Amino acid sequence: MISIDDTLISEEFRDARFCCDVQKCLGACCVEGDAGAPLEEDEISILEDYIEDIKTCMTEDGIDVIDANGVFDYDTDGSYVTPLVHDRDCAFVYYENNIARCAIEKAHEAGKIPLQKPISCHLYPVRVSKHKGFDAVNYHQWYICQPARTYGKNHGIYLYRFLKEPLIRKFGEDWYNKLVKEIEK
């Protein structure tokens, strides 16, 4: 384990090589799984405030789900997650050249909303779980990301380098610099 401030980082995280290869996985992390993407409370507020801007980037099915149920749902643990379309696709997914993309991110890139995308999506394949007194940072190895592991290995791209921007977004630049120092010592 690596300990930085109030976080514990798994050993798998240290050595993992990873770089998304969306041309091969086709954005499978947005459409696979048993629940939507984890959401933080402040993200829900932003989604609610900007939903009309986000809808301009969404599919009709996604809009129907949001109109019927709102911008969030609960997983089996009672945590906030994005709603699903037909128990599969995230409600915020749209398709471009058969690749699942994020309508939230598209609206952000167009300058319509302040939220880039949920931090859980930005950090994936890393999952952060809250515990009493600390956050656990774990590398989630899922079969759908095999192309990303292969690409990262072939190109020598470490997971912590690939995720620099979202790690700084979540924990801050000082935390990230401590992480790099700890890993590279």
DSSP per position, 130-174 = EETTEEEEEE---GGGHHHHHHHHHHT-BHHHHTHHHHHHHH-HH
Q: In this structure, which amino acid lies at residue 60? A: E
Q: How far is CA 15 from CA 12, 63, 87, 158, 185, in A?
A: 6, 40, 34, 7, 13
pTM over 0.95: no
Burial class (CB in 10 A: 0-12, 13-18, 19+), 65: buried
Rounded CA separation 18/21 (Å): 9
Q: Residue 14: which of 163, 171, 172 has the closest Cα?
A: 163
What b/e string do you get for 169-184 counting C-beta neighbours within 10 Å, with b at 16 or more?
ebbeeebbebbeeeee
Query: What are the pLDDT tens digits along the chain (185 aa)?
Result: 899 999 999 988 989 999 998 999 999 988 888 889 999 999 999 999 999 999 999 999 999 999 999 999 999 989 999 999 998 999 999 999 999 999 999 999 999 999 999 999 999 999 998 899 999 999 988 889 999 999 999 999 999 999 999 999 999 999 999 999 999 88
Q: What is the largest CA-CA distance in the chain?
A: 52
Rounded CA separation 50/72 (Å): 14
Rounded CA separation 7/4 (Å): 5
